[in-house]
Amino acid sequence: MAETRSIVVLTGAGISRESGLHTFRDADGIWATVNIEDVATPEAFARDPGRVQDFYNERRRGLVDNKIAPNPAHLALAEFETAFAGDFLLVTQNIDDLHERAGSRKLIHMHGELAKARCGNCGKFIEWREDLFTDTACPACDQAGGMRPHVVWFGEMPFEMDRIYEALEACDLFVSIGTSGNVYPAAGFVQAARMAGARTVELNLEPSEGASLFEEAVYGPAGTVVPGWFTDLAGSL
Ligand code: BV8
Protein backbone atom coordinates (compact mmCIF):
# COMPACT_ATOMS: atom_id res chain seq x y z
CA MET A 1 0.00 0.00 0.00
CA ALA A 2 1.32 3.44 -0.94
CA GLU A 3 2.64 5.53 1.96
CA THR A 4 -0.10 7.53 3.78
CA ARG A 5 0.97 11.17 3.86
CA SER A 6 -2.27 13.16 3.83
CA ILE A 7 -5.52 12.21 5.59
CA VAL A 8 -8.99 13.81 5.57
CA VAL A 9 -11.57 12.58 8.07
CA LEU A 10 -15.27 13.54 7.81
CA THR A 11 -17.55 13.05 10.81
CA GLY A 12 -21.30 13.29 11.29
CA ALA A 13 -23.80 12.97 14.10
CA GLY A 14 -23.13 9.23 14.54
CA ILE A 15 -19.75 9.88 16.17
CA SER A 16 -21.47 11.83 18.97
CA ARG A 17 -24.30 9.32 19.49
CA GLU A 18 -22.49 7.41 22.27
CA SER A 19 -21.80 10.71 24.00
CA GLY A 20 -25.55 11.04 24.41
CA LEU A 21 -26.37 13.45 21.55
CA HIS A 22 -29.12 12.47 19.14
CA THR A 23 -28.46 11.95 15.43
CA PHE A 24 -30.80 13.38 12.80
CA ARG A 25 -32.17 10.51 10.78
CA ASP A 26 -32.19 7.58 13.18
CA ALA A 27 -35.59 6.51 14.54
CA ASP A 28 -34.99 8.61 17.68
CA GLY A 29 -33.32 11.36 15.62
CA ILE A 30 -33.93 15.10 15.66
CA TRP A 31 -35.77 15.17 12.33
CA ALA A 32 -38.23 12.57 13.69
CA THR A 33 -39.67 15.22 16.02
CA VAL A 34 -39.27 18.48 14.09
CA ASN A 35 -39.24 19.48 10.41
CA ILE A 36 -36.10 20.88 8.80
CA GLU A 37 -38.26 23.51 7.07
CA ASP A 38 -39.53 24.81 10.42
CA VAL A 39 -36.21 25.20 12.24
CA ALA A 40 -33.13 24.81 10.02
CA THR A 41 -33.54 27.19 7.06
CA PRO A 42 -33.12 30.98 6.69
CA GLU A 43 -36.79 31.15 5.64
CA ALA A 44 -37.83 29.50 8.94
CA PHE A 45 -35.75 32.07 10.86
CA ALA A 46 -37.31 34.96 8.93
CA ARG A 47 -40.81 33.52 9.42
CA ASP A 48 -40.59 32.61 13.11
CA PRO A 49 -37.22 33.52 14.68
CA GLY A 50 -38.41 32.67 18.20
CA ARG A 51 -39.20 29.09 17.19
CA VAL A 52 -35.78 28.65 15.60
CA GLN A 53 -33.98 30.20 18.59
CA ASP A 54 -35.92 27.86 20.93
CA PHE A 55 -34.87 24.83 18.84
CA TYR A 56 -31.19 25.77 19.14
CA ASN A 57 -31.51 26.92 22.77
CA GLU A 58 -32.80 23.46 23.69
CA ARG A 59 -29.91 21.73 21.86
CA ARG A 60 -27.33 24.19 23.32
CA ARG A 61 -28.63 23.52 26.86
CA GLY A 62 -28.25 19.79 26.13
CA LEU A 63 -24.68 20.35 24.94
CA VAL A 64 -23.55 22.37 27.98
CA ASP A 65 -25.10 19.70 30.22
CA ASN A 66 -22.10 18.20 32.03
CA LYS A 67 -23.18 14.61 31.26
CA ILE A 68 -22.23 15.16 27.60
CA ALA A 69 -18.54 14.35 27.05
CA PRO A 70 -16.27 13.17 24.21
CA ASN A 71 -16.37 9.38 23.71
CA PRO A 72 -13.48 7.03 22.75
CA ALA A 73 -14.04 7.77 19.04
CA HIS A 74 -13.45 11.53 19.52
CA LEU A 75 -10.43 10.80 21.73
CA ALA A 76 -8.92 8.34 19.21
CA LEU A 77 -9.09 10.94 16.42
CA ALA A 78 -7.40 13.59 18.59
CA GLU A 79 -4.69 11.13 19.66
CA PHE A 80 -4.02 10.04 16.08
CA GLU A 81 -3.83 13.68 14.87
CA THR A 82 -1.21 14.49 17.52
CA ALA A 83 0.97 11.49 16.64
CA PHE A 84 0.62 11.61 12.82
CA ALA A 85 3.55 13.29 11.06
CA GLY A 86 1.72 13.88 7.76
CA ASP A 87 -1.09 16.29 6.80
CA PHE A 88 -4.32 15.73 8.74
CA LEU A 89 -7.68 17.51 8.52
CA LEU A 90 -10.82 16.65 10.47
CA VAL A 91 -13.98 18.07 8.84
CA THR A 92 -17.08 17.73 10.97
CA GLN A 93 -20.72 18.29 10.01
CA ASN A 94 -21.49 18.37 13.72
CA ILE A 95 -22.18 21.59 15.58
CA ASP A 96 -21.29 20.12 18.99
CA ASP A 97 -17.88 20.86 20.57
CA LEU A 98 -16.87 17.28 21.38
CA HIS A 99 -13.98 17.08 18.89
CA GLU A 100 -12.24 20.16 20.33
CA ARG A 101 -12.97 18.98 23.89
CA ALA A 102 -11.29 15.66 22.95
CA GLY A 103 -8.19 17.62 21.84
CA SER A 104 -8.67 17.85 18.06
CA ARG A 105 -7.06 21.02 16.66
CA LYS A 106 -6.86 20.54 12.87
CA LEU A 107 -10.65 20.80 12.73
CA ILE A 108 -13.22 22.53 10.50
CA HIS A 109 -16.86 22.85 11.59
CA MET A 110 -18.31 23.06 8.07
CA HIS A 111 -21.89 23.45 9.41
CA GLY A 112 -20.94 25.91 12.16
CA GLU A 113 -20.98 25.63 15.95
CA LEU A 114 -23.84 25.50 18.43
CA ALA A 115 -21.68 27.18 21.12
CA LYS A 116 -21.23 30.30 18.95
CA ALA A 117 -23.66 33.11 18.01
CA ARG A 118 -23.30 35.49 15.06
CA CYS A 119 -24.49 39.08 14.69
CA GLY A 120 -26.33 39.78 11.41
CA ASN A 121 -25.48 43.47 11.80
CA CYS A 122 -21.71 43.49 12.43
CA GLY A 123 -20.95 39.89 11.32
CA LYS A 124 -18.93 39.08 14.44
CA PHE A 125 -19.32 35.61 15.94
CA ILE A 126 -18.99 35.09 19.65
CA GLU A 127 -18.71 32.15 22.09
CA TRP A 128 -22.29 31.64 23.30
CA ARG A 129 -23.33 29.01 25.84
CA GLU A 130 -26.58 30.35 27.17
CA ASP A 131 -29.99 30.89 25.55
CA LEU A 132 -30.11 33.27 22.59
CA PHE A 133 -33.09 35.50 21.85
CA THR A 134 -33.89 37.54 18.78
CA ASP A 135 -33.77 40.77 20.77
CA THR A 136 -30.44 39.88 22.41
CA ALA A 137 -28.01 42.77 21.90
CA CYS A 138 -24.71 41.97 20.19
CA PRO A 139 -21.80 42.33 22.68
CA ALA A 140 -19.58 43.62 19.84
CA CYS A 141 -21.74 46.29 18.19
CA ASP A 142 -24.46 46.66 20.83
CA GLN A 143 -27.21 46.42 18.20
CA ALA A 144 -30.17 44.18 19.03
CA GLY A 145 -32.29 42.10 16.67
CA GLY A 146 -29.56 40.49 14.57
CA MET A 147 -28.24 37.63 16.70
CA ARG A 148 -28.51 34.05 15.34
CA PRO A 149 -26.86 30.71 16.01
CA HIS A 150 -23.52 30.48 14.14
CA VAL A 151 -24.88 27.44 12.29
CA VAL A 152 -25.22 26.66 8.55
CA TRP A 153 -28.89 26.12 7.65
CA PHE A 154 -30.16 24.26 4.59
CA GLY A 155 -29.71 26.48 1.56
CA GLU A 156 -26.74 28.27 3.14
CA MET A 157 -23.15 27.76 2.06
CA PRO A 158 -21.10 25.61 4.45
CA PHE A 159 -17.89 27.17 5.82
CA GLU A 160 -14.30 26.76 4.51
CA MET A 161 -15.29 24.83 1.40
CA ASP A 162 -12.15 25.93 -0.51
CA ARG A 163 -9.87 24.65 2.24
CA ILE A 164 -11.83 21.39 2.41
CA TYR A 165 -11.69 20.70 -1.35
CA GLU A 166 -7.98 21.58 -1.39
CA ALA A 167 -7.37 18.94 1.31
CA LEU A 168 -9.58 16.37 -0.48
CA GLU A 169 -7.72 16.85 -3.76
CA ALA A 170 -4.38 16.28 -2.01
CA CYS A 171 -5.33 13.40 0.28
CA ASP A 172 -4.33 9.75 -0.07
CA LEU A 173 -6.74 8.54 2.64
CA PHE A 174 -10.36 9.65 3.23
CA VAL A 175 -12.25 8.25 6.24
CA SER A 176 -15.98 8.98 6.74
CA ILE A 177 -17.31 8.34 10.25
CA GLY A 178 -20.90 8.39 11.59
CA THR A 179 -22.68 10.09 8.70
CA SER A 180 -25.64 8.84 6.65
CA GLY A 181 -24.41 10.52 3.48
CA ASN A 182 -27.70 12.37 2.96
CA VAL A 183 -26.53 15.96 3.16
CA TYR A 184 -24.56 17.71 0.44
CA PRO A 185 -21.98 18.93 -0.25
CA ALA A 186 -20.47 16.76 2.56
CA ALA A 187 -21.97 13.58 1.07
CA GLY A 188 -20.02 14.28 -2.13
CA PHE A 189 -16.59 14.47 -0.46
CA VAL A 190 -15.93 10.76 -1.04
CA GLN A 191 -16.21 11.39 -4.79
CA ALA A 192 -13.60 14.16 -4.62
CA ALA A 193 -11.31 11.84 -2.65
CA ARG A 194 -11.75 9.05 -5.21
CA MET A 195 -10.93 11.50 -8.01
CA ALA A 196 -7.71 12.25 -6.13
CA GLY A 197 -6.92 8.53 -6.08
CA ALA A 198 -7.30 8.31 -2.31
CA ARG A 199 -8.09 5.16 -0.35
CA THR A 200 -11.69 5.58 0.89
CA VAL A 201 -13.02 4.02 4.11
CA GLU A 202 -16.44 4.23 5.82
CA LEU A 203 -16.68 3.61 9.56
CA ASN A 204 -20.38 3.69 10.45
CA LEU A 205 -23.06 1.86 12.42
CA GLU A 206 -24.59 0.65 9.16
CA PRO A 207 -24.06 1.24 5.42
CA SER A 208 -24.68 4.90 4.50
CA GLU A 209 -26.38 6.24 1.36
CA GLY A 210 -22.93 6.45 -0.20
CA ALA A 211 -21.65 3.06 1.01
CA SER A 212 -21.02 1.75 -2.52
CA LEU A 213 -18.55 4.62 -3.13
CA PHE A 214 -16.14 3.43 -0.42
CA GLU A 215 -13.47 0.82 -1.10
CA GLU A 216 -13.47 -0.37 2.51
CA ALA A 217 -15.94 -0.29 5.40
CA VAL A 218 -16.14 -1.38 9.03
CA TYR A 219 -19.61 -1.34 10.59
CA GLY A 220 -20.29 -0.99 14.30
CA PRO A 221 -20.57 1.71 16.97
CA ALA A 222 -17.95 4.46 16.53
CA GLY A 223 -16.81 4.19 20.16
CA THR A 224 -15.71 0.61 19.45
CA VAL A 225 -14.71 0.69 15.76
CA VAL A 226 -12.82 4.01 15.53
CA PRO A 227 -10.15 3.54 18.24
CA GLY A 228 -9.18 0.09 16.93
CA TRP A 229 -9.14 1.21 13.30
CA PHE A 230 -6.88 4.23 13.96
CA THR A 231 -4.57 2.21 16.21
CA ASP A 232 -4.12 -0.27 13.35
CA LEU A 233 -3.57 2.60 10.90
CA ALA A 234 -0.91 4.17 13.14
CA GLY A 235 0.78 0.78 13.45
CA SER A 236 0.87 0.34 9.67
CA LEU A 237 2.54 3.74 8.92
C1 BV8 B 1 -25.82 24.05 0.28
C2 BV8 B 1 -26.47 22.35 10.86
C3 BV8 B 1 -25.62 25.45 -1.56
C4 BV8 B 1 -27.79 22.68 11.43
C5 BV8 B 1 -26.92 21.02 8.90
C6 BV8 B 1 -26.73 18.73 -3.95
C7 BV8 B 1 -25.61 19.59 -3.91
C8 BV8 B 1 -25.59 20.68 -3.03
C9 BV8 B 1 -26.67 20.90 -2.15
C10 BV8 B 1 -27.76 20.06 -2.20
C11 BV8 B 1 -27.79 18.99 -3.09
N12 BV8 B 1 -28.98 18.34 -2.90
C13 BV8 B 1 -29.67 18.96 -1.92
C14 BV8 B 1 -28.98 20.04 -1.50
C15 BV8 B 1 -29.43 20.98 -0.45
C16 BV8 B 1 -29.09 20.55 0.95
C17 BV8 B 1 -29.15 19.07 1.16
O18 BV8 B 1 -28.14 18.38 1.10
N19 BV8 B 1 -30.34 18.59 1.47
C20 BV8 B 1 -30.49 17.16 1.76
C21 BV8 B 1 -31.47 17.00 2.91
C22 BV8 B 1 -30.94 16.46 0.49
N23 BV8 B 1 -27.76 21.03 1.31
C24 BV8 B 1 -27.65 22.28 1.78
O25 BV8 B 1 -28.57 23.05 1.86
C26 BV8 B 1 -26.25 22.72 2.20
N27 BV8 B 1 -25.96 23.97 1.58
O28 BV8 B 1 -25.88 23.11 -0.44
O29 BV8 B 1 -25.62 25.31 -0.15
C30 BV8 B 1 -25.31 26.82 -1.86
C31 BV8 B 1 -24.64 27.09 -3.03
C32 BV8 B 1 -24.35 28.38 -3.34
C33 BV8 B 1 -24.74 29.42 -2.47
C34 BV8 B 1 -25.41 29.14 -1.29
C35 BV8 B 1 -25.72 27.84 -0.97
C36 BV8 B 1 -26.17 23.00 3.70
C37 BV8 B 1 -26.37 21.73 4.49
C38 BV8 B 1 -26.07 22.01 5.96
C39 BV8 B 1 -27.36 22.06 6.73
N40 BV8 B 1 -27.06 22.09 8.15
N41 BV8 B 1 -26.61 21.09 10.19
C42 BV8 B 1 -28.08 21.81 12.61
O43 BV8 B 1 -27.28 20.90 12.98
O44 BV8 B 1 -29.14 22.06 13.16
S45 BV8 B 1 -27.10 19.47 8.22
C46 BV8 B 1 -27.28 18.27 9.42
O47 BV8 B 1 -27.20 17.04 8.71
C48 BV8 B 1 -26.18 18.16 10.45
O49 BV8 B 1 -25.07 18.96 10.22
C50 BV8 B 1 -25.76 16.70 10.31
O51 BV8 B 1 -24.50 16.45 10.76
C52 BV8 B 1 -25.88 16.61 8.86
C53 BV8 B 1 -25.70 15.32 8.21
O54 BV8 B 1 -26.39 14.36 8.95
P55 BV8 B 1 -25.50 13.21 9.61
O56 BV8 B 1 -24.42 13.84 10.41
O57 BV8 B 1 -25.10 12.25 8.56
O58 BV8 B 1 -26.53 12.58 10.62
P59 BV8 B 1 -27.63 11.48 10.27
O60 BV8 B 1 -28.55 11.38 11.44
O61 BV8 B 1 -28.18 11.74 8.92
O62 BV8 B 1 -26.79 10.12 10.17
C63 BV8 B 1 -26.17 9.60 11.33
C64 BV8 B 1 -25.38 8.39 10.88
O65 BV8 B 1 -24.68 7.89 12.02
C66 BV8 B 1 -26.26 7.25 10.38
O67 BV8 B 1 -25.67 6.70 9.22
C68 BV8 B 1 -26.21 6.23 11.52
O69 BV8 B 1 -26.27 4.89 11.05
C70 BV8 B 1 -24.87 6.50 12.12
N71 BV8 B 1 -24.77 6.17 13.55
C72 BV8 B 1 -25.73 6.22 14.50
N73 BV8 B 1 -25.21 5.84 15.69
C74 BV8 B 1 -23.91 5.57 15.48
C75 BV8 B 1 -23.61 5.78 14.12
N76 BV8 B 1 -22.40 5.57 13.59
C77 BV8 B 1 -21.44 5.16 14.44
N78 BV8 B 1 -21.63 4.93 15.75
C79 BV8 B 1 -22.84 5.13 16.30
N80 BV8 B 1 -23.03 4.90 17.63
In SS3 terms, 93-153 reads as: CCCCCHHHHHCCCCEEECCEEEEEEEECCCCCEEECCCCCCCCCECCCCCCECCEEEEECC
Instruction: Report how far residue 198's alpha carbon sits from residue 191's, in angstroms, rounded to the nearest whole number.
Output: 10
| pTM confidence score | 0.97
Q: How far lies 62's CA from each of 55, 58, 168, in Å?
A: 11, 6, 33
Protein residue whose Cα sits closest to atom 75 of ligand 1: 14
Over the stretch 19-47, which tens digit does the pLDDT of each residue have?
999 999 999 999 999 999 999 999 999 99
Which helix (H) or strand (E) covers residue 45, if one does? helix 42-47
For ligand 1, the distance from its centroid to the CA atom of residue 184, given in whole angstroms, is 6
Over the stretch 96-112, which tens digit does the pLDDT of each residue have?
999 999 999 999 999 99
Mean pLDDT of the chain: 96
**Pocket test residue of 63, 183, 205, 206 for ligand 1, highest count of atoms within 8 A of CB:** 183
Protein residue whose Cα sits closest to atom 71 of ligand 1: 14
**Pocket test residue of 91, 184, 201, 203 for ligand 1, highest count of atoms within 8 A of CB:** 184
For ligand 1, the distance from its centroid to the CA atom of residue 25, given in whole angstroms, is 10
Nearest atom in ligand 1 to 188's CA: 7
Pairing of strands 87-92, 6-11: parallel
